[in-house]
Amino acid sequence: MKRYLIAGLLAWLPLAITVWIVTWLVGTMDGLFLWLLQAAQAVLPESLRPLLQRLTGVPFLSILVLALLMMATGVFVTNIFGQWWLRQWDKLMHRIPIVKSIYSSVKQVSDTLFSSSGNAFREAVLVEYPRDGAWTIAFVTGKPGGEVAEHLDGDWVSVYVPTTPNPTSGFFLMMPRNDVVSLGMSVDQALKYVISMGVVVPSLPGGRPNLAVARNQTG
């Protein structure tokens, strides 16, 4: 009975978690879409308000509208006129107390992580942590800079060590480059390895399966 129960749980768990995440994302988008409709009702004539009310019942309309809004915003901010407006918006946000600290921090992190020219989270590595002889997977986020770099001699890298099974929390470390072992696996494969607590074994570079690890797991 226990064996059958675990087998059934493993069969349904991936689907249940996937549905939960998708439902959460759709719910978040619906909430943002309703907020946009309420804001539109405040500025549009009363004759158009019944139409806006009917739009709230259209399934998946929020996803389509928000996707189009993101694409339109992307087109706008990638031209010269949009870049000028974006700089004015940044200046305005940096003048608001409290908000400027949060906004500037989030913007710096997002620009670093999602920039196509950046190196953050582009490389998975192996580091000794939390003690000598114990190894874990980490991600290179860049190099130490500013005042910190002045106190470090040689080639150092900044790494992020994620926790298991929740990789959104972790530890930030600065380590000598010689103490970091580069891995051939992609960042996606490394994340799967961390989240699965070592159960999902990444294949070797070139698509070859890791036969040594597979033999150890099968006994």
Name the pLDDT band for 126 (thresholds 50, 70, 90).
very high
Count of Cβ atoms closer than 10 Å to residue 161 Cβ:
19
Task: Please give the CATH number for the structural domain made up of 124-218.
Answer: 2.30.30
Name the pLDDT band for 212 (thresholds 50, 70, 90).
very low
- Phi and psi (nearest 5°) for 79? -105, 175
Spell out the domain ranges in the chain.
2-78, 84-117, 124-218
If you search the block for the tokens 């991936």, which residue do you land on? 14
Write the CB contacts of 93 (distance below 8 Å, at least 6 apart in sequence).
Answer: 99, 100, 103, 104
Q: Is the pTM above the cut of 0.95?
A: no
pLDDT at 206 over 60: no
CA separation (Å) from 141 to 109, 118, 161, 172? 11, 9, 10, 9
Query: Edge-to-edge strand order for the sheet containing 181-182?
Result: 170-176, 156-162, 135-142, 124-128, 181-182
As a whole number of angstroms, the distance between CA 122 and CA 119 comes to 5
Name the pLDDT band for 219 (thresholds 50, 70, 90).
very low
Write the CB contacts of 209 (distance below 8 Å, at least 6 apart in sequence).
Answer: 203
As a whole number of angstroms, the distance between CA 41 and CA 43 comes to 6
Count of Cβ atoms closer than 10 Å to residue 76 Cβ:
13
Q: For the purposes of burial, counting CB atoms within 10 Å of the CB of 32, is it exposed (0-12), middle (13-18) or buried (19 or more)?
A: middle
Name the pLDDT band for 211 (thresholds 50, 70, 90).
very low
Count Cβ neighbours within 10 Å for each residue of 99-127 and write b for 16 or more, e otherwise.
eeeebeeeeeeeeeeeeeeeebbebbbeb
Q: What is the pLDDT of residues 80-98, one digit of tens each?
A: 888 888 888 888 888 888 8
197: left (phi over 0), alpha (psi -120 to 50) or beta: left
Which residue, 137, 112, 143, is CA-closest to 124? Answer: 137
